[in-house]
Chain A
Amino acid sequence: MNFNELLQDVVQKDTLASLRAVQPELTLCATIIAILLAKILIPAWKQSPFHLTVIGLATAMFVGFPWHGSAAAAVSTLAQPIFTASLVSDSFTTVVRFFLLTFAMLFAAFAEISTDGEDDRTEFYVLILGALVGMCLMISANHVLIVLLGVEMASVPCYVLAGLKRRQSKSSEAALKYAVFGAGAAGVMMFGLSLLAGGLGTAHLPAMAANLAKMIQGGISPQQITILSLGGLMVMVGVGFKLSAVPFHFWAPDVFEGATAEVAAFLSVASKAAALGLLMRLCSAFAFPADMYFHSPIGELLPQASLIAALAPVRQYIVAIVAVLAAVTCTFGNLAAYGQTNMKRLLAYSTIAHAGYMMMPVAAAVALIRVGSDGVSVDGARDAVASLVTYISIYLFMNLAAFAIVAFLRNATGSEEIADYAGLVRRSPGLTVCMAIVMFSLVGLPPLAGFQAKWVMFYSLIEAAHVCPALWALLSVGLLNTILSLFYYLRVVRVMALSPEPLYREAPTIPLTSMVGMYCGLLTAPMLLLFFALDRVLPWAHAAASTLF
């Protein structure tokens, strides 16, 4: 193939097909441009950013939704490497991206309700959409460069978002902390990725794994092991930063406290979901380079089972790192949440704890890839990925609802201290009930969706523990943490429902029939609905998992 043919091939076949697969991302980019243009051309149109954002997101959801039929149809969407295999478009991308866009839609409505009448909302929406594009790249990354690009594209707008309240010193401090920490983490990650890419002779993730497998088969030197495991650890630093996994979580409480509750909601949900998607991608790429998307740029196809068997030590390594990180993150998040008096800080630690829970199925998925004499078995691993996707879909509503209520209460009382919520049940019973439902859902009590999220997660963890007994420890950590977490979530509810109203404060009245109340109701309803209709989510989750391995 000469250069001209190659060029033709790339332009005609690859690019056109690729562009079709990234329609939602293109829509988001077009929306960003439209918003910016609208601000310049029609300065009087105050509502412009919100309306355009909603239209853009709706279009993106429309083109990004696997409309044709049900979840079963999504399964048949095979993994498709796009843009010369630097991205991969499969049902995992489609489903998680759809969740992200759904979240963004709900989030836009929330931001519109809670920041009604404020300035600089154009910037806000543009930055949110920009970060979303980066997150979409993260979940479909198939190449080292895209991993980096995605992480950076998702992070940089968030640094600005954290500092959007320029006149508040806490907000600026948060932005600076976030940016410095993020830059450091990204640097370490870049170094790690270059170690890996250099050590393995390519930057295409599945090809890297294939080279690694061959290296292991052919005997790997201790120096190489050192370099590669160091590289892996450094990559985990970057991902851990996005996940706010302990010990890379220091930014989270400060940023959540300094930034507005809206921005914190975005960071807490979208950013986490994308980071988990990336983690899942990286882990699956190195644990099991499936032939579905294993088209190295040279077009070489390699025999699979032996390679996958050869990757067993890599899988052990991944399981160990992710499991330890998950256990530490979960426990630390829950313990640190105890002492918090600021609601946003408490939710920051709760986010950290939940990041820990959500890393558990990742470890389970990698542990469940088994190579036996009768071939490779990935059913359990798919279950585990499905449980992760289910968790994300439920977590999305829980945390958005929590932050939304915090923002509405801030608008009404001007405070985000838990103590100032005392006795709210008397004036705003509906809102308090919503908050209680959200908090108990975060603990994971039935009959609320949070229980189903934990349930599918523990289910896959037990499945994995049968293969890898060390994961029993992770399971017990998860269960123990569920009990631990009860205290601080319950404290919020206790203050709102049980504590007497302070004398000096006029309690805000937020009826459920108001716009704010209805929005809270809308976000709380899925806590109950998803509990009973888990069956509706599972097929999508399984569809998402089906093309990953």
Chain B
Amino acid sequence: MFNFSDPTVLLTWLLSAIIFLPAVGALILCLAPRESDASTKRFSLFITLAVFALTVWLAIPGGRVGNFNFSQPGMQSIVNHTWIPAFGINYMLGIDGISLPLVLLTSFLSVLAMWASWPITKSVRAYCALFLLLETGMLGVFLALDFFLFYVFWEVMLLPMYFLIGIWGGPRREYAAIKFFLFTLVGSVLLLVAMLMLYFASDVSKLSQAQQVASNLIGHGTKHTFNLLALMQLGQMPDSPFHQTLLWGQSLSWWAFVLLLIGFIIKLPSVPVHTWLPDAHVEAPTPISMILAGVLLKMGGYGVLRVCYPVCPDAGYHLAWLVSGLGTVSMVYGALAAMAQKDFKRLVAYSSVSHMGYVLLGIGAWSATAGTSYDPNYWNMAMNGAMFQMIAHGISSAGMFFLVGVVYERVHHRDLDKFGGLFARMPVYAGISMVIFFAALGLPGLCGFIGEFFVVVGTWAYCKWLAVVAASVVVLTAGYILWTIQRVYLGPEYKGPHADALTPMTRREIAIAAPLVAFALLLGVYPQALFKYTEPTIGKTVVQKLTDWAQASPKATGHDVTEGRSQ
């Protein structure tokens, strides 16, 4: 267990440290004698920085233990230990091009959000402990490869988030917190049901020896499994055990897909289950809004990408219209709702709904089979665009929430109609805001553009009408963002309350915003920095495999090839 010369042991410790270091930090905070608030915050910041350093280690290509290997598109750095052998539950972690960017985003935003927590003064110790617990849950979700473990981490986030909104939030915090809790719990229960359905239908013995090795199943004692890699392989088999009819003529795979999809789009969130988001965002304190928008929403997208499609391709193929339809509706609805908002934070919250719609559209646009050529390139573009959009939105939305927080701390209101003239009072702040808001708008040269562009291009091959709608949402986005900029930053002078408090940004605030601006620019100018990680994994392990599956399966399952195409 402590033999560090063994790479497996070292890797186990490395990945476990990434997940559990924040939890250990939280425990230390709880048990340590009472320190001053400032040192508690510094300690928590130190922990998040340490975790960030470890995740950066995962991203460096170096060939050492834990380093990223670009030549391996599939899962790498796999750690697999038995946890509850009676149910075949393992402590299985791993990294690939889909999870690594999200892990990095999580640890990066955690550092910034922790630093942005400096103005918190109410029970700092509890705040920091809950914050760190939340980080453990988030990182665990992205690293877990065992469905049960994934679910556990998924739930672990719930409680800290509830308290962080409920104790440190705004005036309607209790309502917002319970609403968040309830929505997520409903999603979790659906997830649990789907998980159990897949588990009971899974049959390890159906996998060939090579497949068992590939999914790390050797030595597996039970017939059923929670191993996500094994579930993916089972789901993509021509005679998949998930194809059995379950209820009302639909297959188990179809039902599992629908349940998982609902569970995930609650988190994403997509219309019509997005209503918790504006409330939670508005009431949550600034750093928590950053985490909520930057990381938690990505979990929904990650779940759809990691679980829904690879495990239930059959249903994904036939429900492509539903997924991309939901995505498009979210985009349009979110943008229109954002335009109608008077509250600055609510506007940003609705813009998240709109932007996350691109993710769903990009994943859902099953364009691989448009026509009969089985050309996976367009879907690959859309999927990669969706992945890019997740990271880009993580940066721009966290930035926007932070910027709203900066001005809210000074004037204690968020009424868009009472702003104006901030350019003159806070020039640096206004400059940073321009970059971040334009990144969200999707201005070429900034990070928001790349994801939206690729999603729209990929969608065009799937269904032209959806692509047209998706492209025109950019106009709506430009509308509300430019209007916001006009109302907040431009204008002759600030006439709202607390005008004296409008001091320039402090150095700490600039230091938090600067990396976000830098990444918005970097990803906009050099998107390859991210695509280098995501493209091989998404292209080879998701899109290519599912295209192969689609090519093989219409004969196997008796479905018409044209059925899932654009309508």
Contacts and interface: CB of A to CB of B under 8 A. Distances in A.
Contact of B87 (A440, A459, A466, A479): A459
A283 B83 CA distance: 33
14 contacts: A425-B126, A433-B30, A445-B155, A446-B152, A446-B155, A447-B152, A459-B87, A463-B200, A482-B189, A483-B185, A483-B186, A494-B166, A494-B178, A498-B174
B1 interface: no
A429 interface: yes
A534 interface: yes
B126 A429 contact: yes
Interface in A454-511: 458-459, 462-463, 466, 479, 482-483, 486, 490, 494, 497-498
Contacts of A482: 189
Contact of A459 (B156, B173, B196): B196
A535 interface: yes
Contacts of A490: 162, 178, 181
A497 B200 contact: no
Task: Enumerate the 7 nearest inter-chain pairs by beta-carbon distance, A residue then B residue, closest first.
Answer: A446-B152, A446-B155, A498-B166, A538-B86, A535-B84, A479-B189, A534-B84
Nearest to B163: A497
Interface string A153-188: 000000000000000000000000000000000000
Nearest to B156: A447
B149 to A, nearest CB: 10
A466 B200 contact: yes
B167 interface: yes
Contacts of A494: 166, 174, 178
B56 interface: no
B182 A486 contact: yes
Contacts of B87: 459
B279 to A, nearest CB: 16
B159 interface: yes
B57 interface: no
Contact of B193 (A425, A433, A479, A542): A479
Contacts of B151: 446
A445 B184 CA distance: 12
B196 A458 contact: yes
Given A446-B155, A498-B167, 20 more contacts: A446-B151, A447-B155, A447-B156, A451-B155, A458-B192, A459-B87, A462-B200, A463-B200, A479-B193, A483-B186, A483-B189, A490-B162, A490-B181, A497-B166, A498-B173, A498-B177, A535-B84, A538-B84, A538-B86, A542-B86
Contacts of A462: 196, 200
A446 B152 CA distance: 6
B125 to A, nearest CB: 9
Interface in B158-188: 158-159, 162-163, 166-167, 173-174, 177-178, 181-182, 185-186
A535 B83 contact: yes
A468 B395 CA distance: 51
Interface in B46-101: 83-87
Contacts of B30: 433
Contacts of A451: 152, 155
B143 to A, nearest CB: 15
A462 B199 CA distance: 11
A440 B160 CA distance: 12
A544 B85 CA distance: 19
A87 B553 CA distance: 60
Interface of A: 425, 429, 433, 440, 445-447, 451, 458-459, 462-463, 466, 479, 482-483, 486, 490, 494, 497-498, 534-535, 538, 542
A535 B30 CA distance: 28
Contacts of A463: 200
Contacts of A498: 166-167, 173-174, 177
A535 B85 contact: yes
Contacts of B196: 458-459, 462
B129 to A, nearest CB: 10
A459 to B, nearest CB: 7
Contacts of A486: 181-182, 185
Contacts of B158: 445
A327 B156 CA distance: 28
Interface in B123-163: 126, 151-152, 155-156, 158-159, 162-163
A463 B30 CA distance: 41
B229 to A, nearest CB: 22
A459 B196 CA distance: 8
A459 B181 CA distance: 24
A446 B84 contact: no
Contacts of B159: 440, 445
A466 B200 CA distance: 10
Contacts of A538: 84, 86
Given A447-B152, A462-B200, A535 B182 contact: no
A451 B75 CA distance: 29
Interface in B183-212: 185-186, 189, 192-193, 196, 200
Nearest to A476: B193
Nearest to B190: A479
A462 B159 CA distance: 27
A459 B158 CA distance: 23
A425 B123 CA distance: 10
A440 B156 CA distance: 11
Interface string B463-489: 000000000000000000000000000
B189 to A, nearest CB: 5
Contacts of B155: 445-447, 451
A59 to B, nearest CB: 33
A534 B89 CA distance: 11
Contacts of A483: 182, 185-186, 189
A295 B167 CA distance: 63
Contacts of A479: 189, 192-193
A538 B173 CA distance: 41
Nearest to B193: A479
A538 B83 CA distance: 12
Contacts of B177: 498
B181 A497 contact: no
Nearest to A440: B159
Nearest to A463: B200
A429, A447, A497: which has the most chain B beta carbons within 10 Å?
A: A447
B231 to A, nearest CB: 16
Contacts of B185: 483, 486
Contacts of A535: 83-86
A493 to B, nearest CB: 9
Contacts of A445: 155, 158-159
Contacts of A458: 192, 196
A425, A433, A498, A542: which has the most chain B beta carbons within 10 Å?
A: A498
A459 B200 CA distance: 9
Nearest to B155: A446
A433 B196 CA distance: 31
A181 to B, nearest CB: 35
A482 B151 CA distance: 16
B494 to A, nearest CB: 34
B83, B155, B186: which has the most chain A beta carbons within 10 Å?
A: B155
Contacts of A446: 151-152, 155-156
A498 B83 CA distance: 36
A242 to B, nearest CB: 30
Contacts of A433: 30
A445 B30 CA distance: 21
Contacts of A440: 159
A538 B151 CA distance: 21
Contacts of B163: 497
Nearest to A458: B196
Interface in B513-550: none
Nearest to B189: A479
A433 B123 CA distance: 14
Interface string B381-399: 0000000000000000000
B177 to A, nearest CB: 8
B9 to A, nearest CB: 19
